[in-house]
Structure 1
């Protein structure tokens, strides 16, 4: 579980043809590398049905994240898994991180990633104001919470944690009140890309 605190998040994205081996590699990272990764707060990773890989790694500071990047254990682990990816693997970093709801939970039964681009960051601060959070808590009990990571170029990576895939699909059909819809419509005016959603069918939730 993680809550409201300032973090540095590294968003790793790539493509793989072997989700099962990457899941095994993530378990190995948790056993062998994580105990020596000072400042690591947790990770949310997984692979979509069509092979898109995400891993959001949370650290208590950029210094801790960069220290892990340079560590021998991290380098050895990466050398062992690099050939599981097809093409380029990107790493984006953010210290502009907001959580909503109850944040994340290692008990989540379904995880969804979204990617979009913000034209006016200050106009959507916070991403989910208190009134909207109260509405979500009341009408979407399937949604545990989540976080938004805004990168320096305006790209936004969001992650939402749900109790289960079935509950999330049912929740998506919930009729939201007019004031909530009005807030969403106003907020979307400050984005210049349609959000792309990624369902992590195979995923891992790790904490120290």
Structure 2
């Protein structure tokens, strides 16, 4: 297989059949040795984080498949910490879509003059550009259209998919008495031009709490995949 992209938390390989293979790593984003799903740099390495991320991703993608939500997921190999996916084209150089249920992280850093930590938000959807040099700046519907990244109609499709998917994740976590504060998702287009969910859905992409205590990615996977 051909290595086509070396990422912070995953490497991407092109398979001979035209699909792609994602290899999950034990690296997680953060700063100063502290885990932060919103950080742009690898902050630390947690043994077992790769498998934990893949286990949780597989769990959620299988649930979304049952709900007929379009994704790039094909299958996973937990022993090899790999996931096979269909090809998809990114919007521009990539967008990240965050669904926020409570004020935390970068939202609080930007809007702390008006928001309190943990304040309830009404399913707030935020789109940011994948741009490490500029700290992933937020971007609105009008700017996305003006810059030719995403049309207004496609923005509404992406926004509704984000809400639907995030609500499903929130419901599943609630079954284990876990509260979702926010989750970061990524989308692309399949070869037919449909907007689909790509990347992963792991503890490394979300903030979750139980009894007001944060749960790290490895512990979250253990809780959610326990019989």
State TM-score, norm by structure 2.
Answer: 0.25
Specify which structure has the bigger relative contact order, considering alpha-carbon pairs within 8 angstroms and separated by 6 or more residues: 1
TM-score (norm 1): 0.27
